[in-house]
Amino acid sequence: MSTTAATITDTAQAFFDACDRGKGWEACSAYCLADATFAVQAEPLADMTTLKDYADWMKALLVFVPDGSYETKALALDEERNSVCVFAVFSGTHSGEGGPMPPTGKSTRSDYVYVMDFEDGKIKHMTKIWNAGWAMKELGWA
């Protein structure tokens, strides 16, 4: 693995940890270009276009899903495309105030993938692959 490949893999892991622990853009921005974009084909996030907004959404999510956590299943580097993919499972219970409705007490285990594209050693774009409908149904939101 080249030095650049090791660097973007480390950056991807650090961003992933900060984002999915709900640290928000303040902690995530160090790993991203200032104008990093975001894409997803999932209803709750469909209008979101910046990685800043997504990182802050994750921070807000962990207010009403306070036990939210993730288990990384795989991390893969695609050196040719300067991309890193992380596959994980998010687990949590809607027990905190806030969110789409009062606490339901219901839990989810939801698979998802982040595909992070890099430029100059920083994330320039991230696509989230996620079956939001599954998670929302398990949490009692749909």
**What is the reported pLDDT for 107?**
98
Distance separating alpha carbons of residues 13 and 131, to the nearest angstrom: 22
d(CA 88, CA 140): 22
pLDDT tens string for the chain (142 positions)? 665 667 999 999 999 999 999 999 999 999 999 999 999 999 999 999 999 999 999 999 999 999 999 999 999 999 999 999 999 999 999 999 988 899 999 999 999 999 999 999 999 999 999 999 999 999 999 8
Q: What is the pLDDT of residue 98?
A: 83
pLDDT for position 5: 65
Residue 108, domain CATH: 3.10.450.50
Domain total of the chain:
1
Domain of residue 108, residue span: 3-138
Tracing tokens 């709750």 back to the chain, one arrives at: 44
What pLDDT is stored for residue 77 in this prediction?
A: 96
pLDDT (0 to 100) of residue 1: 61
Q: What's the pLDDT score for residue 91? A: 98
Residue pair 71/81 in contact by the 8 Å Cβ criterion? no
Residue-level pLDDT at 3: 56
Number of H helices, E strands in the chain: 4, 5
Model confidence, pTM: 0.94
Locate 28 and state its tokens.
Answer: 């995530």
Q: Comparing C-alpha atoms, which of 3, 8, 6 is closest to residue 117?
A: 8
